Amino acid sequence: MKFPVAKTLLATATLTLAAQASAFEQSRTAECIAPANPGGGWDFTCRSVGKVLTDLGYITGNVQTVNMPGAGGGVAFAHTISKRGDDSALIVAASTATTTRLAQGQFVGMDQEMVRWVGALGADYGVIAVSKDSPFQSLNDMMDALKADPNSVKFGGGSAAGGWDHLKVLIAGRSAGIEKANLPKVKYLAFNGGAEAITQVVGGHLDAFTGDISEAQGFMASGDLKVLAVLSEERLPAPLDNIPTAREQNVDAVAPNWRGFYVPKDVSDEAYQWWVDTVDSVYSSDNWQDVMQKNGLMPFHKTGAEFSTFVKGQVDSIKEISTEIGLIK
Partner 1 sequence: METLNFLLQGFAVALTPENLMFAAIGAILGTVIGALPGLGPANGVAILIPLAFSLGLPASSALILLTSVYAGAMYGGRISSILLNIPGDEPAMMTCLDGYPMALKGRAAEALAISAIASFIGSLLATIGLVILAPILAKFALRFGPAEYFALFTLAFATLGGITGKNQVKTVVAACLGLMIATVGVDITTGNQRYTYDILELYEGVDFIIAIVGLFAISELLFFIEMHAGEGFKKVSLNKLNLSMKDIIQVLPTSLRGSVLGFIAGVLPGAGASLGSFLSYTMEKKVVGKSGYFGEGDPRGVAAPEAGNNAAANGALVPMLTLGVPGSGTTAVLLAMLISLNIQPGPMLFTQNAELVWGVIAALFVGNLILLLLNIPMIGIFVKLLSIPPKYLMPVVTLVASVGIFAISNSPLDLYFMIGFGLLGYLLRKLHIPLVPVILGMLLGPEMEKSLRHALTISDGDWSILWSSGLSVGIWAVAITGLVLPYLIGPVLRRRMAAAQDKDHSIVD
Note the residues at the interface with partner 1 (CB under 8 A): 37-40, 43-44, 47-48, 51, 65-72, 74-75, 78, 106-108, 151, 154, 160-163, 187, 189-190, 192-193, 195-196, 198-200, 202-206, 214, 217-219, 221-222, 224, 294-295, 327
Q: How far is the CB of 70 from partner 1 (least distance, A)?
A: 5
First and final C-alpha spacing in the chain = 54
- Whether the Cβ atoms of residue 258 and residue 96 lie closer than 8 Å to each other: yes
Q: How far is the CB of 160 from partner 1 (least distance, A)?
A: 4
Interatomic CA distance for residues 270 and 250, integer angstroms? 45
Which one, 151 or 268, has the nearer CB to partner 1? Answer: 151
Residue 188: CB atoms within 10 A of its CB come to 23
Q: How far is the CB of 100 from partner 1 (least distance, A)?
A: 11
Which one, 2 or 135, has the nearer CB to partner 1? Answer: 2
Interatomic CA distance for residues 178 and 250, integer angstroms? 13
Interatomic CA distance for residues 289 and 143, integer angstroms? 36
Q: How far is the CB of 72 from partner 1 (least distance, A)?
A: 7
Which one, 46 or 142, has the nearer CB to partner 1? Answer: 46
Q: How far is the CB of 240 from partner 1 (least distance, A)?
A: 13
Which one, 180 or 205, has the nearer CB to partner 1? Answer: 205
Q: How far is the CB of 177 from partner 1 (least distance, A)?
A: 24
Which one, 223 or 233, has the nearer CB to partner 1? Answer: 223
Which one, 5 or 108, has the nearer CB to partner 1? Answer: 108
Interatomic CA distance for residues 231 and 132, integer angstroms? 20
Q: What DSSP state is assigned to residue 224? A: S
Q: How far is the CB of 294 from partner 1 (least distance, A)?
A: 4
Distances in whole angstroms, Cα of residue 260 to Cα of each of 120, 170, 199, 211, 220: 4, 24, 29, 19, 27
Q: How far is the CB of 2 from partner 1 (least distance, A)?
A: 8
- Whether the Cβ atoms of residue 284 and residue 299 lie closer than 8 Å to each other: no
Which one, 155 or 307, has the nearer CB to partner 1? Answer: 155
Contacts of residue 328, Cβ cutoff 8 Å, sequence gap at least 6: 104, 105, 319, 322
Which one, 219 or 262, has the nearer CB to partner 1? Answer: 219
Interatomic CA distance for residues 242 and 228, integer angstroms? 11
Interatomic CA distance for residues 176 and 131, integer angstroms? 22
Closest CA to 246 of 314, 300, 184, 175: 175
